[in-house]
Structure 1
Amino acid sequence: MKNKSKIILGITSFFVAVVLVCGVIWFSMASEERNIILFMMMKGERYDNYQEYQVIDRNDETLAPTSFERVVADTIEGNNNCNIVAITEMVKNENSKMLKKGMVQSTGFDDYTGWHVIADEGAAEGSYPFGPSPLSYYTVGVASNLHTQILKAAQVKGVVLENVKVEVLNKFRWHEMMSPDGAGFLDETNTNIIIESSASEEVIQEIKEMALKSWTAGEALRNETEIEPTLVVNGENWVNYRATPGTTLSEESFVDNLRLSSITNEPKKPRYLKPVVKDEEAGILGFKNMANMEFEIFAISESAENSKRPYLKKITVSTPTPETWEIYSDEFMRANDHPLAPTSLEYFTVGTALCLTSQTTLVSAMMDLEFTDYRIENQIDYRQEAIHTAEMVSYADTAHSYILIESDEPKERLESFYNKSLSLCFAGEGLKNATNMTTYCYLNGTLIE
């Protein structure tokens, strides 16, 4: 009996020691680290009814931002200016605290309501992700936009391209994410243009240079783009847009019998692009590594082989999890045309807004911020001059970014939340700062100088 009591006492002492050690470790952590652990461990609230979304689908109505007046770009002969609005809101689901909906619309087109996309991050291995990540949409926009400009440059030159493929790899990085000076960065964009054609190397080089100059998303990254951010607290902004319970039942989306999204049977890799983040760097856990995380997203843009829609493209894109998605992009072909899928710049715009939404989620969790709701409303003003000529050039002039929050927290705390969210946003920093960009071109399988 005494031996049994000693065993019980020993086991109890062991568990008490473990609890004490864990308690010491727990309370030695910074509050931001403890808050993130609790955020990641706790499931979301369960609801009785969920709105069922397709991963990609048309908006039911024209977007109506509440924090600013949307502005239609000036139309000047020979130019192709376009302002694009994006609105994001969280989607409540107990299986993902990072689930969100991004609504996007190019302005100035009659009877065009634009699209919504569902974005998700951090699905556990073997779990069904509700949608691609925000930076996947962002990278899709970069790749498909360049693909479009290659096709347009070839048309100007009167050159037949038998096949075109564009590979883009974006490398992202956090620097001390949980510190007051934490920031997110787009470190580099690596691109391969892959062309099959009987045209000469000289002509293909000319097409490449024309496409790069008119690559709107690329110019937005290559140069410092003006950002105009605004914080809106407790305004009259919550009638039309609210975070509500929702889910996606399948990774497949169909609009007008075209499958706009799906997960590939096997993860697909680029042909020429090489990884820039080592596996061991990407896979090590721990707060120091998380706070300085490096990762990459790639996209492969190919023709959808639709003779009536020459700009319709199939894009394979990676996510932070192992699977690759296959989604589609299209472009406006004439006034009041209705694309069959979101345009390349719509993906780029909504990806930017969704990325900022992710950061507001993480920062509010780190700060243990009390709030009722939040969302992002953006407008990016794009400009393209001398279209259909050899002098085509493109720009992203201004990104107007609004963070809306409903909260009774002190002004100082909300300002800190706002500034930290902006600083951590990879996509926004990619616009704000000049990105290191490398582009190679292959003609019939051979690298050309």
Structure 2
Amino acid sequence: MSSNWAGFTDKVISNILIRSNESPEKIEAVKQLALNGWAVGEGLANATDIDVGILINADEWSGLHARPGRVESPVSMDGGRTITNVTPDLTLQTVEIEDDLAVDMQDFPNPMIFSEIAIAESAHDAQRPYLHRVRAKSLTQNYQTWELYADDSRGYEGPDRAPTSRDYFTVGTSLCLMSQLTANQMFLQKQGIEIKDFRVEHQFDYQQDGFMTPATTGHLDGVTTRVIVKGDVEKDAVMDFAKQALRMCFAGEGIQQATDMETSVYLNGDMLR
């Protein structure tokens, strides 16, 4: 790792698999409707403003410190439903999966190029039709395949049964930045600079117009990012610490800059062209 390290999201490939007796023209129209309403996709495809603030020793940390703990099992349950689990590795029907990237923590490859893969499908829940099952894996050695659920059933009675898809996107970006802050904390520690603690606070502003109509459009209007740092260090060192982590966060870069998006539809196993 060096002070010149940076992260990028190079491309997002989305393949939609549909089984239907409808014509390819109608399926293509459905695809376009879905893409128009995809707020997260719009935020990736187009450059989005990010309002960044860095706060140093700015508030009380009572109850906000991370605590060491132990996860007894990868399986988490809520109301009798499995929310997270570890599953066998994925097999994608439309994408040839690359080998896992081997990473030596003492000798990082440069550039470090890797992919994340996922399968999202309906959970077939009649009461929550927008409840979806997701399986995801980072193509990196020693990373497992995780099964998650997302519930976008807005307007339905009762509490949601899982985080929303936008929750995952927001949290994923926050955790990406936290990972980069952690790496930079270790990097600075070797230089004798001690960052005691840090956290990230995020607000993502989404908008949908014409919801549940053929004219639906989705947007990511803006992102507010706050990096909160605690430590008895010079202000310049803290600013460098936070700014370097922000440069390294490939998820944030994918939002701030326009990202190449490739979306295809497979109808009954055949790609529509």
Given the two structures, how large is their TM-score scaled by the length of structure 1? 0.57
Residue 377 of structure 1 aligns to a residue whose secondary structure is strand
Provide the residue aligned with 1:316 in structure 2.
135
CA RMSD of aligned residues (A): 1.8
Work out which of the residue numbers 227, 250, 268 in structure 1 matches 2:90.
268
1:326 and 2:150 aligned:
no
Residue pairs, 1:208-247, within 5 angstroms: 208-247=31-70
Residue 437 of structure 1 aligns to a residue whose secondary structure is strand
The one-letter code sitting in structure 2 at the alignment partner of 1:399 is V
Provide the residue aligned with 2:181 in structure 1.
360
**CA deviation map 1:81-109 (0-9, x unaligned):** xxxxxxxxxxxxxxxxxxxxxxxxxxxxx
Counterpart Cα distance in 1 of 2:2 and 2:49: 25
Counterpart Cα distance in 1 of 2:147 and 2:78: 15
Moved over 6 A (4+): none
Work out which of the residue numbers 161, 167, 189 in structure 2 matches 1:346.
167
**CA deviation map 1:16-45 (0-9, x unaligned):** xxxxxxxxxxxxxxxxxxxxxxxxxxxxxx
Counterpart Cα distance in 2 of 1:263 and 1:329: 16
1:306 and 2:130 aligned:
no
Work out which of the residue numbers 211, 215, 233 in structure 2 matches 1:409.
233
- Change in CA separation of 1:272 and 1:335 when aligned onto 2, cut-off 3 Å: closer
Residue pairs, 1:32-181, within 5 angstroms: 178-181=1-4
1:248 and 2:248 aligned:
no
Provide the residue aligned with 1:440 in structure 2.
264
| Ranges in structure 2 where 5+ consecutive residues have no aligned partner | none
| Ranges in structure 1 where 5+ consecutive residues have no aligned partner | 1-177
**CA deviation map 1:350-389 (0-9, x unaligned):** 1110110000000111111313221111100001111111
Counterpart Cα distance in 1 of 2:6 and 2:61: 29
**CA deviation map 1:282-325 (0-9, x unaligned):** 33748664342111111100111111111111111113334211
Deviation at 1:337, TM superposition (A): 4.7
**CA deviation map 1:328-355 (0-9, x unaligned):** 1111331775210000000000111011
Provide the residue aligned with 1:45 in structure 2.
none
The one-letter code sitting in structure 1 at the alignment partner of 2:129 is P
Provide the residue aligned with 1:400 in structure 2.
224
- Change in CA separation of 1:284 and 1:374 when aligned onto 2, cut-off 3 Å: closer
1:381 and 2:205 aligned:
yes
Q: Is the 8 A contact 1:191 1:273 kept in 2?
A: no
Counterpart Cα distance in 1 of 2:265 and 2:96: 15
Q: Is the 8 A contact 1:332 1:338 kept in 2?
A: no
Paired residues, number:
268
Q: Is the 8 A contact 1:267 1:322 kept in 2?
A: no
Given the two structures, how large is their TM-score scaled by the length of structure 2? 0.93
Q: Is the 8 A contact 1:376 1:404 kept in 2?
A: yes
Counterpart Cα distance in 2 of 1:246 and 1:284: 25
Counterpart Cα distance in 1 of 2:206 and 2:158: 18
Q: Is the 8 A contact 2:128 2:153 kept in 1?
A: no
Residue 350 of structure 1 aligns to a residue whose secondary structure is helix
Quick check: which has more Rg, 1 or 2?
1
Q: Is the 8 A contact 2:54 2:226 kept in 1?
A: yes
